[in-house]
């Protein structure tokens, strides 16, 4: 009888546990802080990007890439803002910032990102 009660409790516990497909964000995102930014609408192709530490930025397909992958190195415990700088093919500088805010759902945790629209700026990265 005791074994049956333990088995029933175990089965109920398994059934009641939420799954990551019901978090409101299927599939459950990874715990890393990252996002992809579009380069659409810029006056010329984006040739180079960089980000202030602890963030990194890379073009998705090398020079002239159609998106920029931004990632925070490590796992921040609070909101963090990444500043991304770039140089266009025509020599103009662009910049943007992205904020990553941690969240904890019923079964998932990760980061929401906001921001990320590139704007023309006077100064950008140099060689």
Pair 69, 104: CB distance under 8 Å: no
**Is residue 55 in a domain?**
yes
**Is residue 112 in a domain?**
yes
Burial 24-42 (b: 16+ CB within 10 A, else e): eeeebbeeebbbebebeeb
**Is residue 25 in a domain?**
no
% of the chain surpassing 90 pLDDT = 46
**Is residue 24 in a domain?**
no
**Is residue 20 in a domain?**
no
**Is residue 21 in a domain?**
no
- Residue 103: predicted pLDDT: 81
**Is residue 16 in a domain?**
no
- Residue 80: predicted pLDDT: 94
DSSP state of 62: B
Count of domains for the chain: 1
**Is residue 109 in a domain?**
yes
| Mean pLDDT score, 100-106 | 81
| Mean pLDDT score, 25-31 | 56
Is the pTM higher than 0.75? The answer reads no
What is the average pLDDT value for the chain, to the nearest integer? 77
Q: Give the domain extent around 72.
A: 30-121
């Amino acid at each position: 009888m005791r074994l049956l009660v333990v088995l029933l409790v175990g089965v109920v516990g398994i059934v009641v546990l939420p799954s990551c497909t019901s978090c409101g964000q299927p599939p459950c995102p990874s715990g890393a802080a990252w996002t992809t930014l579009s380069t659409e609408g810029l006056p010329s192709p984006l040739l180079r990007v960089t980000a202030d530490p602890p963030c990194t930025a890379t073009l998705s397909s090398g020079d002239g890439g159609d998106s920029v992958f931004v990632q925070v190195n490590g796992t921040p415990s609070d909101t963090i803002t990444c500043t991304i700088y770039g140089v266009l093919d025509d020599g103009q500088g662009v910049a943007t910032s992205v904020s990553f805010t941690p969240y904890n759902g019923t079964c998932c945790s990760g980061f929401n990102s906001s921001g990320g629209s590139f704007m023309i700026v006077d100064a950008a990265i140099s060689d």
